[in-house]
Each structure stands twice: as C-alpha cells, then as structure tokens.
Amino acid sequence: MSLKVLIDTDAKNEIDDQYAIAYAVLSGAFDIRGFTATHFARPGSMEASFEEIRFVLKLLGREGRYPVLRGAGHALPESSAPVDSPAARFIIEEALMNTGGPLYVVCIGAITNLASAYLMEPDIRKNIKALWLAGKNWPEGRFCFNDENDILAAQIIFDSDIDLTLVPVCGPACRLKIYYHDKRRIKGKGEIGDYLWRLFMMRRFGFPKPVYDVAAIAVLKSPEWCIRDTAPRPVFLKNGRYDHAHAKGLVTVVTSINTEKIREDLFRLMDSLG
C-alpha cells in the first residue's frame, strides 16, 4: 500500500521545491493527498507558492489531479494562535480520516500550516507523521530558512508529540546537487524538464545547486538510501539551536543519504518524459 503523503511547500521561494514536486509525482510511489502552500520571507509569498504548485503540476500533465490549497500567508502571531487556512483545515481533514495508515506530512518550508492544524485540532497527532527539512545541522542546530520563517511554529512542533523526522539542511540535504553537466538528463524532458533546467540556469548560471527538498521526498520514497538515528527530542530555542538538556520524547534525524542513488533515480524518472 502506498504511503499517504501531503506536501507542504513554499514553492516559489527556491528551485528545489519544483524539483521535489516533480520527483514525488513522477515516482508514482505515493498516494499524494494534495499540496499545501506556505509562506516565506516576503509579502504575497504564499499566494505565489500556491500558483507555482499549480503551474508545476500543469507542466507535469497533472493539472487538477490533486487538491492544491492556500495556507498561512504569515508566521504565527503567538504560540497559542493558529493561522486558520484551507491548508490547515485540509491537514486536519486528511489526518482524521484515519484510513489506510498514517498521513505523512512532508514540510519543505515554514511549518506554519502543520503547527496551525495541530493547534486547531490536537488529535491529529494520533495519525500524522511529519517529515521536515529544517535546521542547519545536528545536534547543535542553528537557523535555516525554513525554521527562521516561523520560529513559534517550529517550537510548537518540537514541543508536540507529533511523530517527527528531521532532515537537516546542512549535512545530508546540502550534498544532493544539480550540476551543469546534468543538462542532458533534465533539459528536453518534456515541459517540466525544460522549466526545471531554466530555473537552474536563471538562479545559478550553471553553478552547482543543492536541491535540498528532493532529499526530503527521497527519505520517504527510498528509506534504504538513508541513515537515520533516533534521539531524545530537544527543545527548539529562539536562536534556532537545540536545547538537549530539557529533551522530552523522541525525534528521528536523517544523518546521511545516498546522493548518487537519489540523483540517478530522479534522472531515470525524467528520462521517461522524453
């Protein structure tokens, strides 16, 4: 049975979200329940991400295939105040269906939508497994873009008893890269391939680019390509570091990924397009 997956993404922020969406969809490995848009560091960013998700799905020939929902347009205003949105309500609805195993919520942006859903309906913790690309390194911590964009939401998720897998940005995810010599494996592979290559060239001018978010998808798709550790779950501090002295519960941390196998898998899927 395929894993039930919901992907929460700030798709217009970087170029790796688009690669991750394509990888998840083309893999056919998941029962994708939908996509939710989250904000990043500028006004209108959630709406831009919402439109980008829809555009990428159109290029993949999957327009209208999956629900795409608007999420929070900003960070939580305070720790007890969720940002109500169609995305948060959709997460709640999918989690409480409680059929066919847990709902895997893959967060590759600010985690506001999941934190809001949890504040609105804490019972979702019983049927959610969250996987979040965040934190610069483990076990020290330090801000990366995703957690910095909503510190309160990060603290809520770490303090909750939601099953959490952390994919640190520095370490496993930053080693997964696209290079200029990958052109033949991406460009010309349908409309999506041309778009992904154009993004790479526009943003990086041919210089290597980590595709962090693809790592988060790969952790679920091919767990045998990843090494994980289970550790006491630290407190997430306001400066982005982890307080291990007051840990409670457990967190799973991805410490290594097989970048070459993941890259080849991505390109194999792209090859099927042309």
174-199 pLDDT tens trace: 999 999 999 999 999 999 999 999 99
Number of domains in the chain: 1
**In angstroms, rounded to a whole number, what is the distance separating the alpha carbons of residues 70 and 63?**
16
Enclosing domain of residue 247: 3-271
113-171 pLDDT tens trace: 999 999 999 999 999 999 999 998 899 988 788 999 999 999 999 999 999 999 999 88
Q: Which of 34, 29, 33, 35 is nearest to 221 (CA)?
A: 29
- Helix axes 112-120 and 86-97, enclosed angle (nearest 10): 60
pTM of the entire structure? 0.97
DSSP letters along 159-180, please? Answer: HS-SEEEEE-TTTTGGG-EE-G
**Torsion region of 238: left, alpha or beta (phi above 0 gives left; psi -120 to 50 gives alpha):** alpha
Domain CATH for 156 = 3.90.245.10
**In angstroms, rounded to a whole number, what is the distance separating the alpha carbons of residues 180 and 64?**
33
